[in-house]
């Protein structure tokens, strides 16, 4: 134990090491603060939905109530959906800055609505966010390198290594003590602020523990890399240059190469083609006999088939039927598009098993539910909600029931946690 205390005292006297540890702790705290501020902004935006929505729907209800036309109600009412940030989202914001977390939909064709984005500044999205995941994945390895690159070579250059190696508990044991001490302190500089912030945000103890283990494992990887390079018995400065080069390759170059390779190997037929095809299908309905549309619609949805036949005048049930038929006509492309996205995501995850930087980022964003999988899950939730919306309005349209002010209250509400 005295040996450990002695090592700690030695480390404390190194100005560079102490500055590095303090700087890492400060960066971690800043990143956690920035992440928590962003998450609270997103919570505030979601909390502001009901008031805005009440005003909007209230105005529509006021004039629809005069004619009580269910079609107008369905056509003009937008219904909000949202994807609340998970408790851990502050640590890895992932895609939440570029993918919408609030989306309003109407009972009309969903394929023309579901890919809409929210307002964001592309120039701010380009460099990425300053969050905990960034500090851990990108910056922490540099601190490991700064503290561990000269553990043996530094002593050798000072002419002390032979003496140290000859001492009891010297040599390899000494190196182990020093490495573990540095690993422990670096992990603490990152882990303690994180654990505190996570506990404040209501992250479950199990998840906190997993992230802490992840931090430890990732730093251990870099300490191990330092040890491997150290075994080459090069000078301290050659070690530092080699390790910084490895960092560049592992954290910056290989992930970007992987991105190019994945997008090349797994082509995703552009989503824009779905939108084009759906529009064609929807608008064609105006140029073909209306009965044909209704036949197709009733074939898929027999529960409404007993609705009275169309007359010459415009009827909204036909309008909504052809929107749904339009959606259904591109279902196959939608599945293929989604499958392509999932395959790309899967390939990146596989790369994460080989590249620790990618692996840590993937795991953190998965746990924080801020990755592509979470985005697709949100889309699923929107689809589910949209089905309920359609069912709700069809109950009025196909049964020719009047739609009054009170009926607006009965419309389904998005349930964020299905």
By CB under 8 A, what part of segment 370-389 binds other proteins? 371-372, 375
DSSP 259-299: HHHHHHHS----HHHHHHHHHHHHHHGGGS-HHHHHHHHHH
At residue 82, φ and ψ (nearest 5 deg) are: -150, 160
Residue nearer to other proteins on the CB measure, 172 or 265? 265
CA-to-CA distance for 64 and 45, rounded, in angstroms? 28
Q: How many residues does the chain have?
A: 418
How near is the Cβ of 42 to other proteins at its closest, in Å? 10
Q: Does 118 bind other proteins (CB under 8 A)?
A: yes
First to last CA, the chain: 53
Contact residue for other proteins among 12, 47, 125, 158 (CB under 8 A): 125
Q: Does 404 bind other proteins (CB under 8 A)?
A: no
Q: Does 45 bind other proteins (CB under 8 A)?
A: yes
DSSP 236-258: HHHHHHHHHHHHIIIIIIHHHHH
Residue nearer to other proteins on the CB measure, 116 or 400? 116
Contact residue for other proteins among 167, 232, 252, 354 (CB under 8 A): 252
Residues 51-70 that bind other proteins (CB under 8 A): 52-53, 55-56, 59, 63
Residue nearer to other proteins on the CB measure, 10 or 249? 249
Q: Do 87 and 414 contact (CB within 8 A), yes or no? A: no
- The b-or-e profile of 385-401 (16+ CB within 10 A means b, else e) is bbebbbebbbbbbbeee
Q: Does 124 bind other proteins (CB under 8 A)?
A: yes
Contact residue for other proteins among 283, 332, 353, 409 (CB under 8 A): 283
Question: In sequence order, which residues have a C-beta less than 8 Å from that of residue 169 and are 6 or more positions away?
Answer: 3, 177
Q: Do 203 and 221 contact (CB within 8 A), yes or no? A: no
Residues 306-335 that bind other proteins (CB under 8 A): 312-314
Which residues share a beta bridge with 104? 80
**Binding flags for other proteins, 174-213, as an x/- string (CB under 8 A):** ----------------------------------------
Q: Does 138 bind other proteins (CB under 8 A)?
A: yes
How near is the Cβ of 358 to other proteins at its closest, in Å? 7
Residues 84-113 that bind other proteins (CB under 8 A): 94-95, 98-100, 102, 104, 112
Contact residue for other proteins among 87, 170, 184, 271 (CB under 8 A): 271
Q: Does 348 bind other proteins (CB under 8 A)?
A: yes
Residue nearer to other proteins on the CB measure, 212 or 244? 244
Residue 17's Cβ-count burial label (10 Å; 0-12, 13-18, 19+) is: middle
How near is the Cβ of 12 to other proteins at its closest, in Å? 19
């Amino acid at each position: 134990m005295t040996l450990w205390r002695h090592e700690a005292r030695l480390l404390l006297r190194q100005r560079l090491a102490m500055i590095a540890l303090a700087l890492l702790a400060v960066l971690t705290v800043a990143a956690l603060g920035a992440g928590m501020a962003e998450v609270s902004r997103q919570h505030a935006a979601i909390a502001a939905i009901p008031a805005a929505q009440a005003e909007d729907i209230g105005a529509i209800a006021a004039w629809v109530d005069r004619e009580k036309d269910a079609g107008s109600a369905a056509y003009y009412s937008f219904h909000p959906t949202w994807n609340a940030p998970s408790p851990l989202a502050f640590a890895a914001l992932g895609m939440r800055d570029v993918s919408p977390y609030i989306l309003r939909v109407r009972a009309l064709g969903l394929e023309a609505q579901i890919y809409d984005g929210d307002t964001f500044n592309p120039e701010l999205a380009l460099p990425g966010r300053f969050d905990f995941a960034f500090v851990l994945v990108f910056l922490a390895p540099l601190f490991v390198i700064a503290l561990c690159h000269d553990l043996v070579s530094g002593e050798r250059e000072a002419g002390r290594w032979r003496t140290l190696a000859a001492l009891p508990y010297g040599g390899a044991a000494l190196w182990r003590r020093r490495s573990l001490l540095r690993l422990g302190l670096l992990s603490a500089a990152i882990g303690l602020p994180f654990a505190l912030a996570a506990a404040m945000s209501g992250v479950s103890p199990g998840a906190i523990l997993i992230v802490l283990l992840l931090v430890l494992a990732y730093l251990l990887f870099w300490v191990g890399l330092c040890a491997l390079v150290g075994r080459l018995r090069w000078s301290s400065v050659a070690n530092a240059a080699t390790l910084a080069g490895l960092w560049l390759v592992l954290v910056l170059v290989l992930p970007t190469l992987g991105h190019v390779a994945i997008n090349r190997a797994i082509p995703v037929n552009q989503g824009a083609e779905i939108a084009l095809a759906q529009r064609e299908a929807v608008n064609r309905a105006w140029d073909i006999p209306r009965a044909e549309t209704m036949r197709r619609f009733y074939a898929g949805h027999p529960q409404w088939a007993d609705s009275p036949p169309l007359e010459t005048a415009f009827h909204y049930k036909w309008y909504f039927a052809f929107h749904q038929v339009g959606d259904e006509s591109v279902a196959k492309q939608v599945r293929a598009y989604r499958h392509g996205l999932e395959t790309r995501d899967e390939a990146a995850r596989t790369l994460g098993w080989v590249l620790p930087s990618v692996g840590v980022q993937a795991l953190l964003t998965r746990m924080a539910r801020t990755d592509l999988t979470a985005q697709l899950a949100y889309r699923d939730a929107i689809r589910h909600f949209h089905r309920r919306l359609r069912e709700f309005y069809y109950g009025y349209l196909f049964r020719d029931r009047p739609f009054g002010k009170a009926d607006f209250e009965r419309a389904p509400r998005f349930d964020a946690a299905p």
